[in-house]
Chains A and B, each alone.
Chain A
């Protein structure tokens, strides 16, 4: 069954301002405000939060996706129409040409569904940059055309980072939809077959674990060893690294938290698990995030909450300037607790 996105269902939580209001209001049945994230940063001598540079140029090429995962912070799905156009991609390439940012991280939605995706990857690859594609795996099995993606990825040295919430079907399908686990396994076999995740191939295949519910991820190293053992034993699948990511209390995961009655406990736990070391290593400090329509954000989460980069920095890719952006202050709000709890969370897993 294909679930509707919050946007097409006309849900209040489709609106970033509504989400921010929820996050900044005392939880139901309480008059108690959670401590402000910026106050926690100040206690850790990290306010205002400043960039350490720009190492990662993350491009969200659109919200169109073949899945409607229950935890999706993008509210992506088959009914979304926001897709980056080629002229915006040209501006991204122009910005990259004028900088030495080493890594380009392409995400979505399912980025492969953008009609200009392959062209864009080829262009970035030809510039000698490290290309990461956040592939949801099932897109590879969606039709014959997408079935050629593994070879395309290999030809362009793409580093694949793929979500697989668990090494068992039940937990994966509950979060990502019926049949997703089986199709993900099929896609992983296709990627392994051409060398992805295999030692010595140079073709990197990393997996992403995020909890299928209102709880935190455990230690990355022990989960990685569970995934490696179980995926090899039951499915003959190999991969390089496992990143563990905390679910961010925004968009569809926020809807799930509220509907399941877990919101207040989850938020309190995030706040109580604030770790200054994780805060010091948050990904927004070395990342810039570009939206489908070319606007600039400190991270993909801020992008979805419509919190742009600081006013004194360039706000659109056409005005991209590494130096000005490196001198900005980073916008934060209550959702940022999602990246600073426990061992921390980022697009490359734990940060502390």
Chain B
């Protein structure tokens, strides 16, 4: 057993999840491939969304993969960082908007 939870080399082994359940893995990877293909959104736009989401879900594998992918698609460093700020703003906003719930409850309890 490795002594860290995350190993960068594991990213390349993503496809190996099929070893334990091939059918579902195939369905997932087919779906994944289709999601990231050019569509109503460009592959470049999708890659940038993925980079932001990777930060929101704090997935080191996804950050690794989509930093490379966005660079390869010609996304600038400023655009990449702005995408991370979008993730941060949504996460921060998600906490803060619950402040209204807290206020509602506090007002209900207090005179």
Residues of A near any B CB (own CB < 8 A): 168, 170-171, 209, 211, 213, 215-219, 222-223, 226, 268
Q: Please give the distance in Å from B108's CB to the nearest CB on chain A.
A: 53
| B44 A222 Cβ-Cβ under 8 A | yes
Cα(A171)–Cα(B74), bound, Å: 11
Listed stretches B26-34, B65-73, B99-107; interface member: B65-73
Contact at B76–A222, with CB atoms within 8 Å? no
Q: B71 is contacted by which of A170, A215, A268 (Cβ under 8 Å)?
A: A215
* Residues of chain B at the chain A interface (Cβ within 8 Å): 12, 42-44, 68, 71-74, 76-77
Assembled-state Cα–Cα distance A171/B72 (Å): 13
The answer for the CA separation of A171 and B43 in the assembled complex, in Å, is 22
B61 CB to closest chain A CB (Å) equals 14
In angstroms, how far is the closest chain A Cβ from the Cβ of B79? 11
B42 to chain A, nearest CB (A): 7
User: Nearest chain-A residue to B9 (Cβ)?
Assistant: A265
> Which residue of A is nearest B8, CB measured?
A265
Write the chain B residue with the least CB distance to A222.
B44
Q: How far is the CA of A118 from the CA of B74 in the complex (A)?
A: 36
Closest to B71 in A: A215
Residues from chain B with a CB closer than 8 A to the CB of A223 are 74
Q: Is the CB of A216 within 8 A of B74?
A: no
Give the Cβ gap from B19 to chain A, nearest Cβ, in Å: 19
Task: Give chain B residues whose Cβ lies under 8 Å from the Cβ of A170.
Answer: 77
In angstroms, Cα B77 to Cα A139, docked, is: 28
Is A215 within 8 A of B68, CB to CB? yes
Other-chain contact of A211, B12, B44, B72, B77 (Cβ < 8 Å): B72
B-side contacts of A209, CB under 8 Å: 74
A215 to chain B, nearest CB (A): 5
A211-B72, A216-B72 known, 13 other contacts, Cβ within 8 Å: A168-B76, A170-B77, A211-B71, A213-B71, A215-B68, A217-B72, A218-B44, A218-B74, A219-B73, A222-B42, A222-B43, A222-B73, A223-B74
In Å, the complex CA distance between A281 and B44 comes to 26
- Most A Cβ at <10 Å: residue of B71, B72, B73, B74: B74
Complex Cα spacing A222 to B45, Å: 12
Determine the distance from Cα of A218 to Cα of B43 in the docked complex, in whole angstroms. Answer: 10
Give chain B residues whose Cβ lies under 8 Å from the Cβ of A218: 44, 72-74
Which interface residue of A170, A215, A218 has the most chain B CB atoms within 10 A? A218
Query: A217 CA to B74 CA in the complex, in Å?
Result: 8
A211 to B77, CA, bound (A): 13
